[in-house]
Amino acid sequence: MNDPIRLCDANLSQINAAVPQYDRSELTGGILHFGLGNFHRAHQAVYLDQLMNTGEGHDFAIVGAGVMPTDARMREVLLAQDCLFTVVEQTADTAEARVIGAMTDHLPAADAQAIIAKLADPAIRIASLTITEGGYFIDANTGHFDVTHPAIVHDGNNPDVPRTVFGMLVAGLAARRRDGRQPFTVMCCDNIPHNGVVTREAVIETARLSDPELAEWIAANVAFPNGMVDRITPATSDRERAMIRSEFGIADETPVFAEDFIQWVLEDNFPAGRPALEKVGVQFVPDVTPYEMMKIRILNGGHAILAYAAGLLDIQYVHEAMQEPLVSDFLEKVETSEVIPVVPPVPETDLSAYFAKVKERCANPKIADTVRRLCLDGSNRQPKFIIPTIRDRLARDLPVDGLALECALWCRYCAGTTDGGAVIAPNDPSWDRLTRVAQEARHDPAQWLAMADIYGDTGTDPRLIEPFAKWLGMLWEQGAEATLRTYIEG
């Protein structure tokens, strides 16, 4: 077998995969993107690459910006590859590789001044973000931006040397206002309900700490469109790096493996201009709310429903979880009896068909998505994906038996061991606290639901407390297998 070909501009003609059909030397940066993780590179960057292949959007190339100090390694790898990377799209039976060329530069996370200077450049018309659900400093008890967080307090006191994404966005907008330039649009691509509204509050309130007049200018002049994004993109490991070499002959240190499904629904609010992404499948709509609620509650909520059950049963991969009847039947029953009935109608969409597609995606063995990834960061995800459905059902005086079991499974998972006795490695930013409370809840279940920053007032409702306590006690006494069977059999 021939040696793999190193991924770079000079070697594109030798690569046996779909490669950019445009002259990358003619691209100019029009989007500064914070957070160059796998999701962004398999989603937004793919759409832009497709558009560029049609001959359009060449002035909307991506300039990457790191978020965390750990992003330095990603920057180093991408720059060594001329900012090229491979996305492998996989169905159960096929795998197709394509090299994405839509990014032209990657700024260092430690150099806030370089990022602010780029944001001030009038060529940048969109600043976009994928900084994870936990990166928005949301107080789960109030649902609003936490201006008391130490990182935000720092940026309020030191607006010229910010450390957070929001501080950098504020500094970039301040520079454009000072220079009399049109502001860029801020486009959140994270999996958060009303993500544009959430980002708007974060930017405005960060600005208000140092310059209330600037905050009012941002409120009046800067667009924050809401968007719904979707694609399963597991983490890249040595396994994927080996596969890209052996199966496609490409030496790529940061490939992304993704499912073939991809979706982006976006509100069309871009005063400074935008690429014509509707030509490559992006849906532009007046209001993204029904689409995002469908996705967050049925898909992301479904991930949580199956993940903690599978985790306690020592199942490693999501497709294996879907092959276990206890897990797949649990998912089916909770979704069809409790989740989908309170999801509002979505234009031209059959919710049952959407759920069927969700199950098909989860069962895709090629993705090798891990149960552990779906279990990650429950303290940030549960308040967005599960608890709103519980709240809606309680408001209608509807039972929450299955969702209470999901909460109990998460609690039991956070106690730190599987039913088989394996130790669960820390899997949440608040893992130590969650483990302590989960172990206390073994004897006093209400302690878990009393975490007001996660459950808010919902955790004090007896209609949730009673079934939660029942299921948690059964999980400890009889195990997940027997508990799931009891619920499924009714």
In the predicted structure, residue 141 carries a pLDDT above the cut 90: no
Fold classified for 289-489:
N-(1-d-carboxylethyl)-l-norvaline Dehydrogenase; domain 2 (1.10.1040)
In the predicted structure, residue 279 carries a pLDDT above the cut 60: yes
Q: What is the pLDDT of residue 367?
A: 84
Q: What is the pLDDT of residue 191?
A: 84
Identify the band that residue 46 occupies on the pLDDT scale cut at 50, 70 and 90.
very high
Q: Quote the Cα angle for 353-354-357, to 5°.
A: 90
Q: What is the DSSP letter of 254?
A: S
Give the mean model confidence (pLDDT) for residues 223-242. Answer: 93
Q: What is the pLDDT of residue 128?
A: 98
In the predicted structure, residue 139 carries a pLDDT above the cut 90: no
Give the mean model confidence (pLDDT) for residues 387-403. Answer: 98
**pLDDT of 169-216, one tens digit each?**
999 999 999 999 999 999 999 988 899 999 999 999 999 999 999 999
Identify the band that residue 133 occupies on the pLDDT scale cut at 50, 70 and 90.
confident
Tell me the C-alpha to C-alpha distance, in Å, between residue 429 and each of 307, 376, 378: 18, 9, 9
Q: What is the pLDDT of residue 213?
A: 98
Mean pLDDT of all residues belonging to the chain: 96
Q: What is the pLDDT of residue 140?
A: 64
Do 289-489 and 5-285 have the same topology in CATH? no
**pLDDT of 66-110, one tens digit each?**
888 878 999 999 999 999 999 999 988 899 999 999 999 999 887
Using CA atoms, how far apart are residues 225 and 242, in angstroms rounded to an integer? 39
**pLDDT of 332-383, one tens digit each?**
999 999 999 999 999 989 999 999 999 999 999 988 889 999 999 999 899 9
Which H helix or E strand runs over 177? helix 165-178
Tell me the C-alpha to C-alpha distance, in Å, between residue 258 and each of 16, 43, 53, 356: 19, 9, 20, 19
Tokens of 345: 């109608």
Place of tokens 């600037």: 214
Which H helix or E strand runs over 243? helix 238-248
Give the mean model confidence (pLDDT) for residues 37-61. Answer: 98
Q: What is the pLDDT of residue 1?
A: 56
Fold classified for 5-285:
Rossmann fold (3.40.50)
Give the mean model confidence (pLDDT) for residues 209-229. Answer: 97
Q: What's the alpha-carbon Rg for the chain, to the nearest Å? A: 23
Three-state SS annotation for 63-121? EEECCCCCHHHHHHHHHHCCCCEEEEEECCCCEEEEEECCEEEEECCCCHHHHHHHHHC
Q: What is the pLDDT of residue 187?
A: 98
Q: What is the pLDDT of residue 17?
A: 95
Tokens of 99: 């090299």
Q: What is the DSSP letter of 417?
A: B
pTM of the entire predicted model: 0.85
Using CA atoms, how far apart are residues 408 and 38, in angstroms rounded to an integer? 31
Domain ranges of the chain: 5-285, 289-489
Q: What is the pLDDT of residue 297?
A: 96
**Upper half-sphere CA count for residue 41 (Cβ side, 13 Å):** 30
What phi, psi does 200 have (nearest 5°)?
-60, -45
